[in-house]
Structure 1
Amino acid sequence: MLKKGVYIITGLMASGKSTIAQMLAEQFDQGVHVRGDIFRKMIVTGGIDMAPESPQAAVEQLRLRYHIAAKVADMYYKSGFAVVLQDVYLGKEVYSFLDLFEAKPLYFITLNPKIDVLLKREKKRSKTGYIIWEVEALENIMKNENPRIGLWIDSSDLTPEETLNDIIKRAESEARLV
C-alpha cells in the first residue's frame, strides 16, 4: 500500500522515468505527476543546458529548476495530493535538492537499467536525449557521485508494470528518506 508523500523518480534519459512516474501517480486517489524538465523547457531565451564542462550559469539554472520543482511538489502535497516528481537528479546536487522539500514523507527512487538497455530504449523514443552527453559519462556520474540513498531498481529486464509493482512493494522500506 502506497502512502501519500512526495515520490521522486530519477534515472538517466530513457530509463523509464516518465512512464513509471505517470503509472505511480495513477495509483493514488489524488495523484500528481510533476515533470521537472518542464521548468527547463519554459526558458524561452537564455537557457543553458548542462554539459560536461558547464559554466556556472548552467549550474545556477539547474538549481533554479530543482528549486521550482520542489516548491511545486510541496504546494501540491500541502493541498492533499500525493506527488510524483521526475527528472534527472545527478551528482552532488542531489543532497541540496532533497533539502529543499518541506513535504514528508519523501521517497527517492532511482531507475538504473544497464547501458545497453538504455541505448536500445533511446533508439525507440521519439525524442533524443543523448546529444550533449554520452550515456557512459552520465552513468559514471550517477554510479560514482549520486548518493546511495533510497531505492535503486535495475529495470533492465522488467516491464513497466513489474517496475511499478517493485516500487509499490519496496517504497516504504527502501525508498523513504524521512
Structure 2
Amino acid sequence: MAGVHTAERPDCLIVTGMPGAGKSTVTRLIADRLPRSARLDGDFISRLVVSGRVGALGEPAEEAARQVELCNRNLCTLANNFSDAGFTPVVDWVIPDGAQLDFFVSLLPARRVLFVVLAPGIDVCRYRNTLRDPRERFDFDGYEDLESAMKRELGDVGWWFDTSALSPEQTADRIVREAGVKAATGQRRPPGGHWVTE
C-alpha cells in the first residue's frame, strides 16, 4: 500500500511546517480520511501545562527547551499507545531541526515514521495566517530563520511537499495516498550522518 499503512501496527505520521503552512487543517482532514486514526496536536499537548508554562520561544530558554522535550515525550507516548491499539497517529507539531526528529524516531522504535513537511513558502504561510480566526493567529517574525534551519537540517528527510497551489482537501488526499512512499524516514541517522530514506 503506497499510502499511510493502517494495519495491525500503523505507521506514525508526523506533519510539520512553519506557522501558517496548514498543519492543523490538513491533519484534521487526514485523520478524517483514515479508517482508524488519532490526531495529536502538539500545541494542545504543550498547553496541558497550566501553571509555570513557558512557550517554545519563551524565557528562560532552558525551561522552554525542557518543556518542549516534555511535550515531545508526551506526543510519542500517545502515538505509541494509539498505534499499539490499531489507530494511526497523526502528529501536528513544528519539528524545527534534526535533533528533535531524531528524538521522535528514537521514541517510536517499533513503527515506521512518516515525515511530511508542508512547504508552501513563506509568503503563503504569512498570508494564510492572516486568514485565521484572530484567536488562532500566531504572531511570528522568524520565518526566514526557521525555513533556513529546517532546510539545512531536514532538507533531505521525508517528503517536502509544496502545497501552495493545493487546497487543504487536495493536500490531505495526496498525503493519505502517497506518504507511505514519499515520506518514510528510514533508519535513525547516526550522529553527524544522514537519514536513509526508504
TM-score of the superposed pair, with normalisation by structure 1:
0.90
Deviations 1:130-159 (A, max 9, x none): 24x422222222222335211110111111
The list of structure 1 runs, each at least 4 consecutive aligned residues, that deviate by more than 3 angstroms after superposition, is none
Unaligned 5+ runs, structure 2: 187-198
Partner of 1:129: 138
- Secondary structure of 2:78's partner? helix
CA RMSD of aligned residues (A): 1.9
Q: Distance in 1 between matches of 2:102 and 2:155?
A: 8
**For 1:138-149, what aligned pairs fall within 5 Å after superposition?**
138-146=146-154, 148-149=156-157
2:33–2:176 contact (8 Å) kept in structure 1 = no
Deviation at 1:53, TM superposition (A): 8.0
Q: Distance in 1 between matches of 2:16 and 2:60?
A: 21
Partner of 1:55: 61
**For 1:65-144, what aligned pairs fall within 5 Å after superposition?**
65-91=71-97, 92-126=99-133, 127-131=136-140, 133-144=141-152
Q: Distance in 1 between matches of 2:115 and 2:60?
A: 26
The answer to whether residue 41 in structure 2 is matched with residue 35 in structure 1 is yes
1:25–1:32 contact (8 Å) kept in structure 2 = yes
Between the two proteins, the alignment pairs up a number of residues equal to: 177
Aligned partner of 1:161 among 160, 169, 172: 169
Moved more, 86-95 or 110-119: 86-95
Unaligned 5+ runs, structure 1: none
2:30–2:173 contact (8 Å) kept in structure 1 = no
Q: Distance in 1 between matches of 2:104 and 2:112?
A: 15
1:105–1:176 contact (8 Å) kept in structure 2 = yes
Query: Which amino acid counterpart does residue 141 of structure 1 have in structure 2?
Result: A
State, as a whole percentage, how many aligned pairs show the same letter: 28
1:74–1:102 contact (8 Å) kept in structure 2 = no
Deviation at 1:73, TM superposition (A): 0.7
Q: Distance in 1 between matches of 2:164 and 2:59?
A: 29
Deviation at 1:52, TM superposition (A): 8.4
